[in-house]
């Protein structure tokens, strides 16, 4: 606990307008220049069930989940008792006075908020009280931790798009509650905010919106999708931003088509059709949907169709925990489809990378003529994060080896080459492709998921099959130079390394800082894509012990590393769990300390 360094939890009932209150606080703190993160823990339900919201402020920018919070706002009688354990000793409980709690531990400082009285004093319209009640804690908190009232009013104006009729009743409640808190709550040393100078202009955005924007800046032309939590908002964001970004100014026509399919099998089929026909194509889904897409992904791999699949991971197997996060789809995505195959997997670690991989994935897919699976997760996809301005793509759009009429003419007449759809002219395993609408008499070919030779003719010949599969493998060697490289932080003593990927890098970086404060130096590698680059291999070879940290039960990344680098298998140690929550730095440090003395001294 300290100035600009604490956590707040809010327990409310879903469907009660708490999201508005919570986002108001988030935005108001963000405007003070203080790094802040928000995390929604919500049920698979529309109205009436418990929901929690967590805010963390940290001047150093460590914004992972905390095991316990310094302040708790309790608005839900159903969970108030069990929520007590989430408060740190010495922490503060602000509770709706209607909730009667007995036996609150003495280590917790408790204040009852007269919610109804404050609502009455602020002349709240009766029909809105259920929604306005949550504004009471916005005002109380503003007084307690020092959020300027004008930041709250700015945030409300942003949220309600400057609609006075909405902003004013909300703000009146905040003001009244603020005044009540000023008079009734004793402030606690250190538990407050101090504005920080903002070095760069920052924005607040969720990962799914960032991914959709990335794809639209990546020249996405076709997306088909089927609703599924937590991926739905990705496709909805495409629809939201296409009118603004992807209408041709000359013709007024759209340059990006979005189709809501009847199921995930159709969604991926449409995307494969579009990718085959020369459109930059993408679908977005979550684990159950990815299962349904498995067979078609095998077809796309074998028929060499560029497509992008975003999997915003939730907890599986089965329907699992639809509204909770995990990194449990890694090994499935890696091994998806029967037979021999390889899939490019991109692993964005924050919302900035959701945007970057949004456009980059389309380039990689078209350059390699193969599916690219991007594994995001609910933690990134559905939570709002503070990040630097989105960066405009610094490389031009890459369409890969596509031959139009004049290109075929040139290949044949000038370069004296014979074109075949699956003929490896360049020795990199990547053939040239033509797409529908190409009127050159030699352009058309027949695409199939069955055996074929270099000229796309049907073939069951043993040599044709083997040659084709070995060429496909070659593409994945080439892939290593096209995909994002790992991020590395090293100290040069090569003893212990932490290896992670995706959103788990957020708590891992913090755990490294905590250990460093204790005098233990840890090297760090964050994998950004598969196939593994040689950098990963070197990192494993250099370190005596590499802890692979991830949010799934089995240590799926550790398994893949073991398989790919068997010589390093005995250096790998797994820190992994899956309980529907993002890992916390505190838990990682504890696990490390449990394992490390034994393992390192062995």
Partner 1 sequence: MIVDIKRSYPNAVGYTRADYLGLPTTLCKGCGHNSISNMIISACFELEIQPEKIVKFSGIGCSSKSTAYFLNKSFGFNGLHGRMPSLAEGALFADLSLKGIGISGDGDTANIGLSQFKHLARRNLPLVYIVENNGVYGLTKGQFSATAEKGLKLKRQGENPYLPVDIALEAIAANASFVARSFAGDPKQVKELIKAAISHEGTAVLDIISPCVTFNNQDYSMHSYSWGKGHEAPLHEVEFVLPREEITVEDFEKGTLREVTMHDGSLIVFKKLEREYDPTNRTEAIRMLEQAIRRNWLITGLIYVDPHAPTIFEQYSLAKEPLNRLAPEKIRPDRNSLDKINASFQ
Which has the closest alpha carbon to 210: 499, 14, 503? 503
Torsion of CA 170, 176, 177, 181, to 10 degrees: 160
* Nearest approach, Cβ of residue 281 and partner 1 (Å): 7
Contact in structure between 543 and 569 (CB atoms under 8 Å): no
Residues 423 and 281: their CA atoms lie apart, in Å, by: 24
Q: Is 555 helix (H, G, I), strand (E, B) or coil?
A: coil
The nearer residue to partner 1, 460 or 517, going by C-beta atoms, is 460
Q: Say if residues 239 and 258 touch (Cβ distance below 8 Å).
A: yes
CA angle 370, 372, 374 (to 5 degrees): 175
> What minimum distance in Å lies between the beta carbon of 343 and partner 1?
17
CB of 332 to partner 1, least distance (A): 19
CA distance readout (Å), 11 to 45, 53, 58, 69, 94? 16, 7, 21, 12, 11
* Distance, CA of 208 to CA of 51 (rounded, Å): 21
Closest Cα partner for 511 from 585, 423, 439? 585
Least Å distance, CB 24 to partner 1, is: 15
Backbone angles phi, psi at 378, to 5 degrees: -60, -40
Q: Which is nearer to partner 1, 267 or 522 (CB)?
A: 267
Return the number of the residue (292 or 595) whose C-beta is nearest partner 1: 292
Cα radius of gyration (the chain): 27
Q: Which is nearer to partner 1, 404 or 465 (CB)?
A: 404
CB of 63 to partner 1, least distance (A): 17
Q: State the minimum distance, in angstroms, from the CB of residue 166 to partner 1.
A: 19
CB of 212 to partner 1, least distance (A): 11
Which C-beta is closer to partner 1: that of 89 or that of 243?
A: 243
- Specify which residues 93 forms β-bridges with: 72, 110
Q: Least Å distance between CB 317 and partner 1?
A: 24
**Closest approach of partner 1 to the CB of residue 357, in Å:** 16
- The helix/strand/coil state of 46 is coil
CB atoms near residue 123 (< 10 Å) = 10
- Residue 361 vs 530, nearer CB to partner 1: 361
Least gap, CB of 290 to partner 1 (angstroms): 16
Q: Find, among 58, 303, 28, the residue nearest to 138 by Cα.
A: 28
Supply angle C-alpha 588, 82, 130, rounded to 5: 115
d(CA 558, CA 338): 22
Minimum distance between the CB of residue 376 and partner 1, rounded to whole angstroms? 18
- Distance of alpha carbon 313 from alpha carbon 380, whole angstroms: 10
Q: Which CB, 74 or 307, lies closer to partner 1?
A: 307
In the complex, least distance from residue 103 CB atom to partner 1, rounded to whole angstroms: 45
Least distance CB 444 / partner 1 (angstroms):
5
Q: Which is nearer to partner 1, 279 or 529 (CB)?
A: 279
Whose structure tokens read 């908020």?
113
- The residue among 266 and 520 lying less far from partner 1, judged by its C-beta, is 266
Which is closer to partner 1, CB of 165 or CB of 201?
Answer: 201
Q: Which of 484, 476, 481 lies closest to 429, judged by CA?
A: 476
Residue closer to partner 1 by CB (options 43, 442) is: 442
Sign of CA dihedral 504, 510, 516, 518: negative
Q: Are 223 and 200 in contact (CB under 8 A)?
A: no
Name the residue nearer to partner 1 (CB basis): 307 or 312: 307
- Name the residue nearer to partner 1 (CB basis): 275 or 328: 275
Contact 293, 235 (CB under 8 A): no
CB of 390 to partner 1, least distance (A): 6
Strands (E), 478-528: 487-489, 496-501, 523-527
User: Is there a contact between 499 and 548 (Cβ–Cβ < 8 Å)?
Assistant: yes
CA distance 575 to 573: 7
What's the DSSP call for residue 254? Answer: B
Instruction: Annotate 60-82 with three-state secondary structure.
Output: CCCCCECCCEEEEEECCCCCHHH
For residues 78 and 285, give the distance between their C-alpha atoms in angstroms, rounded to a whole number: 33
Point out which residues pair with 37 in neighbouring strands: 56
Nearer to partner 1, 196 or 397 (CB): 397
Closest approach of partner 1 to the CB of residue 292, in Å: 11
Q: Which is nearer to partner 1, 59 or 203 (CB)?
A: 203
């Amino acid at each position: 606990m300290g100035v600009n360094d604490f956590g707040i939890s809010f327990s409310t009932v879903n469907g009660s307008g708490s999201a508005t209150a919570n986002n108001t606080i988030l935005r108001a703190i963000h405007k003070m220049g203080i790094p802040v993160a928000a995390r929604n823990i919500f049920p698979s339900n529309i109205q009436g069930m418990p929901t929690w919201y967590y805010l963390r402020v940290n001047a150093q920018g460590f914004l992972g989940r905390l095991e316990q919070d310094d302040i708790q706002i309790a608005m839900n009688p159903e969970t108030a008792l069990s929520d007590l354990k989430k408060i740190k000793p010495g922490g503060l409980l602000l509770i709706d006075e209607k909730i009667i709690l007995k036996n609150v531990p003495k280590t917790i400082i408790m204040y009852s908020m007269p919610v109804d009285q404050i609502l009455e004093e602020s002349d709240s319209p009766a029909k809105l009280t259920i929604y306005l009640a949550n504004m009471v804690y916005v005002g109380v908190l503003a007084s307690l931790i020092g959020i300027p009232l004008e930041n709250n009013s700015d945030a409300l104006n942003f949220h309600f798009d400057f609609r006075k009729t909405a902003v004013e009743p909300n703000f009146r409640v905040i003001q009244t509650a603020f005044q009540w808190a000023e008079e009734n709550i004793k402030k606690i040393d250190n538990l407050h905010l101090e504005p920080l100078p903002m070095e760069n202009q920052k924005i607040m955005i969720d990962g799914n919106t960032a991914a959709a924007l990335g794809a639209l800046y990546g020249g996405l032309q076709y997306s088909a999708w089927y609703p599924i939590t937590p991926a739905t908002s990705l496709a909805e964001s495409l629809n939201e931003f296409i009118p603004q970004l992807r209408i041709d100014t000359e013709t007024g026509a759209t340059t990006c088509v979005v189709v809501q399919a009847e199921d995930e099998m159709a969604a991926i089929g449409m995307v494969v059709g579009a990718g085959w026909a020369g459109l930059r194509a993408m679908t977005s889904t979550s684990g159950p949907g990815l299962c349904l897409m498995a067979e078609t992904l095998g077809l796309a791999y074998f028929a060499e169709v560029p497509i992008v699949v975003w999997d915003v991971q939730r907890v599986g197997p089965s329907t699992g925990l639809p509204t909770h996060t995990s990194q449990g789809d890694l090994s499935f995505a890696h091994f998806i489809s029967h037979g021999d195959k390889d899939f490019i997997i991109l692993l964005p670690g924050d919302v900035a990378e959701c945007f970057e991989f949004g456009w980059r994935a389309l380039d990689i897919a078209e350059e390699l003529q193969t599916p690219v699976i991007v594994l995001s997760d609910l933690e990134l996809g559905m939570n709002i994060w503070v990040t630097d301005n989105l960066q405009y793509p610094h490389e031009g759009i890459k369409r890969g080896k596509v031959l139009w009429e004049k290109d075929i003419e040139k290949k044949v007449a000038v370069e004296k080459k014979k074109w075949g759809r699956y003929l490896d002219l360049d020795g990199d395993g990547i053939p040239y492709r033509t797409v529908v609408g190409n009127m050159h008499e030699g352009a058309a070919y027949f695409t199939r998921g069955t055996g074929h030779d270099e000229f796309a003719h049907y073939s069951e010949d043993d040599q044709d099959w083997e040659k084709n599969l070995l060429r496909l493998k070659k593409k994945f060697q080439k892939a290593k130079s096209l995909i994002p490289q790992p991020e590395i932080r090293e100290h040069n003593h090569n003893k212990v390394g932490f290896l992670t990927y995706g959103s788990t890098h957020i708590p891992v970086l913090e755990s490294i800082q905590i250990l460093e404060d204790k005098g233990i130096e840890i090297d760090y590698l964050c994998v950004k894509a598969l196939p593994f680059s040689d950098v990963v291999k070197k990192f494993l070879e250099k370190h005596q012990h590499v802890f692979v940290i991830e949010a799934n039960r089995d240590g799926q990344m550790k398994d893949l590393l073991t398989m790919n680098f068997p010589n390093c298998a005995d250096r790998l140690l797994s820190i992994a769990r899956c309980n529907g929550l993002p890992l916390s730095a505190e838990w990682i440090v504890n696990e490390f300390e449990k394992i490390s003395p034994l393992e390192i001294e062995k």
